Structure 1
Amino acid sequence: MKIAVVDDLAQERNEIISLVTDYFSVRFQQFDITPEFCEYESGEAFLDGFMPAEFDLVLLDIYMAELTGIETAEKLLLLDKNIKIIFFTTSTEHILDGYGVHALSYILKPVTKHMKAFYKALDYFVELLNLDKCGITIKTSSGDMFVLNKNIVYIESSVRNLFFHFASEVVQASGKYSDYSKVLREDHRFLECYRNLTVNMDYIVKPIENDFLLKTGEKIPISRRRKAEVIEQYTTYFINRRGF
């Protein structure tokens, strides 16, 4: 596992590396993960030569000279939409900005005084690594097709048609919606928000009245009868996944 630590203070970088090393040392037998760290003293230094999928996790300070952590994250997302980021800061001022770049969490400094939140964020990150390997086989007219759960935006069924929606394409599948939905909902990222419609909550930007706005720009309906339940489930997931 490769982790980038971006902070303009060497002492802060060393502390974060030590804490993350301790975290994985304690949980090594459970997760079987050995972290490799790369240090950067600025957002510019990190972005220079950055390659998509190079890092599993970026630990990023908010307050830095020149490019801030938020600005660095915005540029990172243009290069790698799947980048996973945990922010560190001395203030809660930019917490909403953290939402905007889909950060996993937002940890206050000194980190040693917020270890519970930090470890919760790392727990969620490791969970995502494991979930990234989960997938489902769908039946299509061209044969069986294995897809990773993380790439499914939502599935829907209407009359006799069943569709899997991805960020860049829609695939028509055969079989029962209920069978696929049941399997997907065992992955806690998925929520049946409307009759015969199950969405991956990682693609939800926010609820707007009776719809969810998705990162793809689409809007999908929320069941009016179950609206309170659906919103509560999404809100709980949204809060828990970031550790705020």
Structure 2
Amino acid sequence: MEPIRVAICDDLPGERDTLLALLEQAPIATVCTQFGSSEELLEAFRPDKFDLLLMDIYMDGMTGVEAVQKIREMDKAIPIAFTTTSTDHTLESYRLSVLKYLEKPVQQKEIDDLLRLVKLQKDSAPQLAIQQNGKTQKLPLSELMVLEQQGHHVTLFLKGGSTIQLYGKLSDLLPQLEGQPFFCPHKSYCVNVAFVVGINEEYQCYKMSDGKNVPISRTNRKAAKKEFEDYLFAQTRGIG
């Protein structure tokens, strides 16, 4: 089992050491990275770099709440737990989809329960089963940006820039994507709408977060626009 990647952000070294000690005693393995300020965390943060963020609220400079607001603009899914001495920010916790609110001093059981919850979410995340080299592999849908039919192969474009090429048809993979935020704007393409940043009206294509353009067929233009707008609306409601 891969360890849970934890980012700890607190401007007090002693508080970070306390959390590290609790994480080391937890029954679930972790790999931890420390940050002494919100600014330091934001400079290093990238979507999918961490599995969990432990964020102090009251820090010199940018507060934890302000930092999480910026992080939610980049990554709407990463589990976040506020660590603080006050419960004055419970409303912000709800609005920013914060998983837990841990009052200091944080207890071992709270950390253990939090890690179990993060692991459960990670293990139950939707996946795409693919065949490679005679073996079945499972790819988290959160890492899959675009599927493209190219001749007798399907190319999977992943978050981070890597690709996987499979022999077969796009239509054979689509049943696994039902109920997830995927849409086929063209017979040769299927996109993860979470990675769409806009629609180029002139060239009629989805603009993806990695700069890739995915064509939209004439018959799918109205549906493609509605799919994107519905997704944005749902996300806005989900995080406030």
TM value normalised by structure 1: 0.54
Q: Does 1:122 align with 2:99?
A: yes
CA distance in 2, matches of 1:60, 1:192: 41
Who is 2:55 aligned against? 59
Who is 1:88 aligned against? 65
CA pair 163-237 structure 1, distance change in 2 beyond 3 A:
farther
Who is 2:196 aligned against? 204
Q: How does 1:1-244 map to 2 (within 5 A)?
A: 4=7, 6=9, 8=11, 42-43=37-38, 56-59=52-55, 64-65=60-61, 68=62, 88-89=65-66, 98=71, 101-104=74-77, 110-114=88-92, 116-118=94-96, 120-122=97-99, 129-130=122-123, 132=125, 134-138=127-131, 142-144=133-135, 146-148=137-139, 149-157=141-149, 160-166=152-158, 167-186=160-179, 188-209=180-201, 210-222=204-216, 223-239=220-236, 243-244=239-240
Post-superposition offset of 1:235: 1.6
CA distance in 2, matches of 1:128, 1:203: 21
Q: How many residues align?
A: 194
What is the SS of the residue equivalent to 1:157?
strand
Q: Give the aligned residue type for 2:192.
A: N
Post-superposition offset of 1:3: 5.0
Post-superposition offset of 1:145: 5.2
CA pair 225-46 structure 1, distance change in 2 beyond 3 A:
closer
Q: Give the aligned residue type for 1:112.
A: T
Who is 1:21 aligned against? none
CA pair 113-46 structure 1, distance change in 2 beyond 3 A:
closer
TM value normalised by structure 2: 0.55
Contact 2:131 2:137 in 1 (8 A): yes
Unmatched tracts of structure 2, length 5 or more = 20-27, 81-86, 101-116
Contact 1:7 1:64 in 2 (8 A): no
Post-superposition offset of 1:58: 4.5
Post-superposition offset of 1:40: 5.9
Overall identity of the aligned pairs, in %: 17
Contact 1:63 1:89 in 2 (8 A): no
What is the SS of the residue equivalent to 1:89?
helix
